Structure formats: structure tokens, C-alpha cells
């Protein structure tokens, strides 16, 4: 069984700047699931034959809790800006990279990337506040298509689309 920590999710905290600044999600998260929400219709005709029509997916994921880490943290600052300005549309658009990592050959060796996919996403804050543990800005990531396979540089946190080397 592969440990959950090897399925990584990186969100571009620059939200459309010239160069992406990817931040790994996971700190303070006990669980993160991308809900695929498949669009499926199943019907039967009068002959008793079953028909399945699969029209795609409406993928989304909740990041909850998400703590405002520090005044210098780019993702925390951007999320607070989106919430405070009640941003809509493309102001909430960025990219996300999902990466499957493979452990290094030894304990000290860095993991390697098995596969990586980048996709356009909309990041929508759900609330601002929290309890005495700290300021929280939970948000939902809505996958928006344009999914591209490529490679992921773990050290530089950069994505290169397949075939563009």
C-alpha cells in the first residue's frame, strides 16, 4: 500500500502571475479528496437492456481546515484577499498540479515523480474566522479543465507539459 503522503497536490499561489509559485497542500489537513462527481445517466429500454451515458466529471475538493499561516505566506494572503474583496470569476482562477511521488531508494534520498497533471482551477474561500486555534480560511477547489500531463521537478516545484522539452 502506498502512503497518502506520496499523492501530492500543489496550488499556484500567484494566481496568473508570469511564473507560477506552487505551494503544497496538506499541512493541518487530515484528509483531502478530489470528488470526481461523474455525470452518469443509466436507463433501460423496453427490451430490458441497460444503457449508460457518461458525460464527464465536475471535480471539486474541499480544503478544510486551512490556517492563515503567516503574513508572508503567499497562499494565505491571496485567500484572504479573495475573501475580503468578494472576488469572482477569473480573479479566483489559478492552476493546480497533482503529482504521484515514489519514495527514494534510501531513507535519505528524495522522492521522484511518477506522473504529474496540471489543470486550471477556481479557488473559492468558504469562510473566514475559526476558533481559538487560529485564523482559518477553508476553501473549495473547482477543477476547470485544460488538464495536461507532464513532469514535475520536486526541487524547483515546476511543471513541464509533456512534449515541450
Residue-wise pLDDT tens digits, 44-86: 999 999 999 999 999 999 999 999 989 999 999 999 999 999 9
Range of the domain at 125: 4-32+61-161
Is residue 114 scored above 70 in pLDDT?
A: yes
Distance CA 45, CA 18 (A): 53
Per-residue pLDDT band at 165 (split at 50, 70, 90): low
**45 domain-assigned:** no
Least confident window among 47-51, 104-108, 121-125, 143-147: 104-108
**12 domain-assigned:** yes
- The CA distances from residue 17 to 91, 149, 154, in Å, are 12, 21, 20
Q: How many folded domains does the chain comprise?
A: 1
**52 domain-assigned:** no
Spatial contact of 160 and 150, defined as CB atoms under 8 Å apart: yes
- The CA distances from residue 150 to 10, 71, 159, in Å, are 14, 33, 7
The strand pairing partners of 162, in sequence order, are none
- The CA distances from residue 35 to 25, 38, 59, 140, 143, in Å, are 16, 9, 6, 11, 10
Spatial contact of 140 and 96, defined as CB atoms under 8 Å apart: no
**Closest by CA position to 125, among listed 62, 36, 38:** 62
Show the CA angle centred on residue 147, arms to residues 110 and 21, nearest 5°.
50
**44 domain-assigned:** no
Spatial contact of 125 and 82, defined as CB atoms under 8 Å apart: yes
**120 domain-assigned:** yes
**50 domain-assigned:** no
**118 domain-assigned:** yes
Question: What pLDDT score does 16 carry?
Answer: 84
Distance CA 120, CA 117 (A): 10
**90 domain-assigned:** yes
Amino acid at each position: 500500500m502506498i502512503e497518502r503522503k506520496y499523492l501530492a497536490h500543489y496550488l499556484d499561489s500567484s494566481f496568473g502571475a508570469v511564473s507560477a509559485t506552487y505551494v503544497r497542500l496538506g499541512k493541518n489537513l487530515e484528509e483531502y479528496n478530489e470528488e470526481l462527481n461523474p455525470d452518469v445517466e443509466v436507463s433501460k429500454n423496453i427490451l430490458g437492456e441497460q444503457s449508460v451515458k457518461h458525460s464527464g466529471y465536475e471535480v471539486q475538493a474541499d480544503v478544510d481546515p486551512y490556517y492563515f499561516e503567516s503574513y508572508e505566506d503567499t497562499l494565505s494572503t491571496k485567500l484572504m484577499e479573495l475573501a475580503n474583496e468578494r472576488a469572482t470569476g477569473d480573479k479566483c482562477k489559478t492552476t493546480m498540479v497533482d503529482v504521484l511521488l515514489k519514495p527514494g531508494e534510501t531513507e535519505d534520498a528524495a522522492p521522484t515523480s511518477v506522473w504529474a497533471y496540471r489543470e486550471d482551477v477556481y479557488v473559492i474561500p468558504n469562510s473566514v474566522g475559526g476558533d481559538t486555534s487560529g485564523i482559518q480560511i477553508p476553501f473549495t477547489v473547482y477543477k476547470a479543465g485544460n488538464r495536461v500531463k507532464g513532469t514535475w521537478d520536486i526541487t524547483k516545484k515546476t511543471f513541464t507539459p509533456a512534449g515541450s522539452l
